[in-house]
Structure 1
Amino acid sequence: MDAQTDIERIWQLTKAIEQAAAVDEWERAAQLVDERSPLLMALGAQQPPVVIAQLKEIQAIDARVSAAAQDAQKALGEEYQAAMLATRNASQYQRIAQF
């Protein structure tokens, strides 16, 4: 494949990653990143300006998706902690109620 075909496929995958992240499909986003990574690594250092510009857009999207992933991880961690606390409270209630 030529550089233009590669960058078009990379762009399609990036937009699919962005969409998966937008609907909290993090497993799908990770699969797409795994598919895209070899294509990015295969790009040569010397690229035409149009490809460089598109790569900068891809980097910006990746930064937004990464920030969203961090936010989602934090929210899930907080939900997990709340669920663990609720479980401990329910367990404590059951122990006390048995007396």
Structure 2
Amino acid sequence: MSHESLSRAYELSQAMNAAATEGDWLYAAELADTRSPLLMSLTAEQTPEALATIRAIQDIDAEIERIAQRGRDALMSDMHASMRRVEAVSFYQATGQL
């Protein structure tokens, strides 16, 4: 992989992180699709500078994963709260029909 391609992959990773932070998961996925071929072209032999950039990309990916997990947890919490409200309404309705 050329230095330019790796730099582009890093830029795309930063943009993915920004999109994830804003909750724009569709755009983050589009960026990931663009970045993927660049990362797939990596070879085993890399310069120390390239390895540092790759580690930085891995760190960004880990942050995106943390953002996604927090979002997932919030959605699950909202879903459980909604289910409890539905159960309460159902109980209220059933009680009213007695």
Place the TM-score, normalised by the shorter chain, in its bin. 0.7 to 0.9
Number of corresponding residues: 98
* TM-score of the two chains, using structure 1 as the length reference: 0.85
CA distance in 1, matches of 2:76, 2:26: 17
Aligned ranges for residues 1-99 of structure 1 at < 5 Å?
3-99=2-98
Structure 2: which amino acid aligns with 1:57? A
Q: CA deviation at 1:31?
A: 2.6
SS of match in other structure, 1:75? helix
Displacement, 1:30?
2.4
What is the CA distance between 1:73 and its match in structure 2?
A: 0.8
CA RMSD of aligned residues (A): 1.6
Q: CA deviation at 1:51?
A: 1.3
CA distance in 2, matches of 1:35, 1:24: 19
Question: Could you list the runs of 5+ residues in structure 1 that have no partner in the other structure?
Answer: none
- Measured after TM superposition, the shift of residue 71 of structure 1 is 1.6
The amino acid across from 2:70 in the alignment is D
**1:84 is paired with a residue of what secondary structure?**
helix
Superimposed CA distance per residue, residues 30-63 of structure 1 (whole angstroms, 9 cap, x where no aligned partner): 2322221221011222222211111111111111
CA distance in 1, matches of 2:69, 2:58: 16
Give 3-state SS (helix, strand or coil) of 1:58's partner: helix
TM-score by length of 2: 0.86
Structure 2 CA distance, aligned partners of 1:6 and 1:45?
15
Identity of aligned residues (%): 37
